[in-house]
């Protein structure tokens, strides 16, 4: 608790510090490459015969996804707090790579905890992190995946609190993390809102984003929260279908998705009747986590946002559609959001607008997609 109290105080102070905010914005511009583009997906919209689809291009951000927006903000905060070391957790390796990237940029020591199962299936990202100067520490406990890596990162943080900041990768964990990560990701929605107004003269009818822990989606939704006419739609991982039990749809499967506490967050958690954390599955590693960011549970209770899911097959189909019709290779996570747009667009008028967050690029997923196509 003292560590969280210290972090919250430092964060509140930093956000009121003009020099801190200016440095963050300067690096977003000159290092991350913001603002990222908003692209009218003309051919895909025509092909679907309904709403106009616009893509917010987080795939064009440095290191290939939105994760750097948050990693950069937290690394700057760590420096401001006088910490010279950051620890991070990673599942697929994307947040580990973003953390290693900003640590190299700012001269911080970086240790990334990663389950040994994940290390075996994400070798290129393990190598990337090492190239960037980070130490990757294997975690051999539990299911040897993301949730076990988070346990170890938290242990390291509380043991080395004087020198170390825990750079958490999604809108999850104990307060102030969900708020802080949302704020650092809210640049996505602020830019997209201004860009769509400039390009079309009006707000979108619906905003769609995939939801793992919930950071890219909350980052998009936040700027539209007061625009009552803009529908907000989050897409979870439906895996092999809800009935199969192999999915990560915390809201999509009331039989196992119930209120619980995991890693300091009270929210919807996939669990068995005893409260043991359920195993999850998704073709996209970034959506494969048992809990959802608490602000999403709140938006859902309010009725402000709706949540649905896309299956592995629907995501793969969306992946190849976007490749062929727009010349964009999306991340498999982002493909879940595209899959929802593919379902909705044909039922909408031609002047309706769907804004889809393309959270990352798909280069990291080529092996997975190749294997899926081969199996088919
Ligand atoms: C990590 C990741 C996600 C899922 O994380 P959120 O916190 O829900 O955004 C989605 N897309 C990409 C490309 C990712 O790397």
Q: What is the pLDDT of residues 90-133, one digit of tens each?
A: 998 999 999 999 999 999 999 999 999 999 888 999 999 999 99
Report whether pLDDT(270) > 90: yes
The answer to whether the peptide bond before residue 176 is cis (omega within 30 degrees of 0) is yes
Res. 375 pLDDT band, cuts 50 70 90: confident
Average pLDDT of span 144-153:
93
pLDDT score recorded for residue 376: 79
Report whether pLDDT(311) > 90: yes
56, 58, 83, 89: which one is catalytic? 89
The answer to whether 253 and 270 are in contact (CB under 8 A) is yes
Report whether pLDDT(143) > 90: no
**120 vs 354, residue with greater confidence:** 354
Report whether pLDDT(314) > 90: yes
SS3 15: helix
Q: Determine how many CB atoms are found less than 10 A away from the CB of residue 286.
A: 30
The answer to whether 355 and 56 are in contact (CB under 8 A) is yes
- For residue 210, the cross-strand partners are 235
pLDDT score recorded for residue 122: 87
Average pLDDT of span 203-214:
98
pLDDT score recorded for residue 41: 98
CA–centroid distance, residue 212 to ligand 1 (Å): 6
If we measure between CA atoms, which residue out of 317, 332, 324 comes closest to residue 363?
332
Mean pLDDT of the chain: 97
pLDDT score recorded for residue 275: 92
**Structure tokens given for 6:** 């210290």
pLDDT score recorded for residue 346: 98
**E-assigned strand segments in the chain:** 38-40, 52-57, 85-90, 109-115, 135-139, 164-166, 206-210, 231-239, 257-262, 265-270, 305-311, 353-358
Average pLDDT of span 331-356:
98
CA–centroid distance, residue 95 to ligand 1 (Å): 9
Largest CA distance in the chain: 58
SS3 53: strand
Percentage of the chain surpassing pLDDT 70? 100
Residue to substitute in 56, 59, 64, 66 for testing ligand 1 pocket (most ligand atoms within 8 angstroms of CB): 66
Name every residue whose Cβ is closer than 8 Å to that of residue 37 and which is 6 or more positions away in sequence. 57, 60
The answer to whether 332 and 375 are in contact (CB under 8 A) is no
């Amino acid at each position: 608790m003292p560590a969280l109290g210290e972090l919250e105080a430092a964060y509140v102070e930093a956000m009121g510090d003009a020099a801190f905010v200016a440095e963050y914005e300067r690096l977003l511009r000159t290092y991350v490459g913001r603002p990222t583009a908003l692209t009218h997906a003309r051919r895909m919209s025509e092909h679907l015969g309904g709403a106009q689809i616009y893509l917010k291009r987080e795939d064009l951000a440095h290191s290939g996804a939105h994760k750097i927006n948050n990693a950069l903000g937290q690394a700057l905060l760590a420096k401001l707090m006088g910490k010279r070391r950051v620890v991070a957790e990673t599942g697929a390796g994307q947040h580990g790579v973003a953390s290693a990237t900003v640590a190299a940029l700012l001269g911080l020591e970086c240790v990334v905890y990663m389950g040994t199962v994940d290390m075996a299936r994400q070798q290129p990202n393990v190598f990337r992190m090492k190239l960037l100067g980070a130490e990757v520490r294997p975690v051999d406990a539990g299911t040897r995946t993301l949730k076990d890596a988070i346990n170890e990162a938290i242990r390291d943080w509380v043991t080395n609190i004087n020198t170390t900041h825990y750079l958490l990768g999604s809108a999850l964990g104990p307060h102030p993390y969900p708020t802080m990560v949302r704020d650092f990701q809210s640049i996505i929605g602020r830019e997209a809102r201004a860009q769509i107004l400039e390009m079309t003269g009006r707000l979108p009818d619906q905003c769609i984003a995939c939801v793992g822990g919930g950071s890219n989606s909350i980052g998009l939704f936040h700027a539209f929260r007061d625009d009552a006419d803009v529908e907000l739609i989050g897409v979870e991982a439906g895996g092999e279908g809800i009935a199969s039990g192999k999915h990560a749809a915390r809201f999509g499967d009331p039989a196992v998705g119930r209120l619980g506490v995991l890693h300091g967050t009270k929210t919807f958690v996939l669990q068995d009747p005893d409260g043991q954390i359920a195993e999850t599955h998704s073709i996209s590693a970034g959506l494969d986590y048992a809990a959802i960011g608490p602000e999403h549970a709140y938006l859902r209770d309010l009725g402000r946002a709706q949540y649905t899911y896309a299956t592995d097959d629907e995501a793969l189909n969306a992946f190849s559609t976007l490749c062929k019709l727009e010349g964009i290779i999306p991340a498999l996570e982002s493909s879940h959001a595209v899959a929802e747009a593919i379902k909705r667009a044909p039922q909408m008028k031609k002047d309706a607008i769907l804004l889809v967050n393309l959270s990352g690029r798909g280069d990291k997923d080529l092996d997975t997609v190749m294997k899926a196509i081969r199996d088919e």
